[in-house]
Amino acid sequence: MKHARGFTLIEILVVVVIIGLLAVGAVLAIGTTKRDDALETEAQRLQSLIDYVREHAELTTREFGLGCEGDRYRFLAFDPRRGLWRVAEAEDILRERTLPVGLRIRLRIEGREVLLRPPKEKEPLQPQVMLFSNGDVTPFELTLGREGSPLQAVLASDDEGVVTLTLPKQGAP
């Protein structure tokens, strides 16, 4: 009887495991370069907070605003007795938030780029984006992006004051 030559079951299993590991490595490498979960999470959080503050402003008939710096943002409330803006710290949800490392904010108001800088000492607080108690919103376009990456998320208000979020497309460079 002649012996048939071929691969043993162990050799076939080793090859299948190696191919599987290579496939998993390729999928993970491709998946991490095409998405920025921190960027998307922060953009969705900011949109939710803006929607919340708009509803809160209408229910309480108070004026609110959004103050931005390069790597942080905070909500401000107008104090009509003093005629000043103050940090809206009565609720923990409206606390100042710092973006994850590497994320930056760019802001355009009515089509003009806004220089985002921290307020100087003794300078009164001023929001860049107004969230009025009647539901109106300052026309704005806020861009969240990562330094050195083309991926960016854009929050923008339309003529009716509706704030929409545009996330980077899956698989976009």
The total of other beta-carbon atoms located within 10 Å of residue 143's CB is 16
pLDDT of residue 117: 81
For residue range 117-154, list pLDDT tens digits in order.
Answer: 877 778 888 899 999 999 889 899 999 988 888 888 99
pLDDT of residue 107: 93
Residue with structure tokens 């923008």? 156
The DSSP element (H or E) to which 60 belongs, if any, is helix 37-60
pLDDT of residue 173: 47
Q: Say if residue 22's pLDDT is above 70.
A: yes
Q: Say if residue 172's pLDDT is above 50.
A: no
For the structural domain made of 37-166, what CATH number should be given?
3.55.40.10
pLDDT of residue 35: 66
* Mean predicted confidence (pLDDT) in 45-50: 93
* Mean predicted confidence (pLDDT) in 77-95: 86
Residue pair 153/167 in contact (Cβ under 8 Å)? The answer is yes
Residue pair 85/24 in contact (Cβ under 8 Å)? The answer is no
How many CA atoms, within 13 angstroms, populate the side-chain half-sphere of residue 138?
A: 20
Please name which of 21, 58, 35, 24 lies closest in space to residue 134, comparing C-alpha atoms.
58
**What's the mean pLDDT when you consider all of the chain?**
85
Question: Whats the size of the chain, residue-wise?
Answer: 173
The percentage of the chain sitting over the pLDDT mark of 70, rounded to a whole number, equals 91
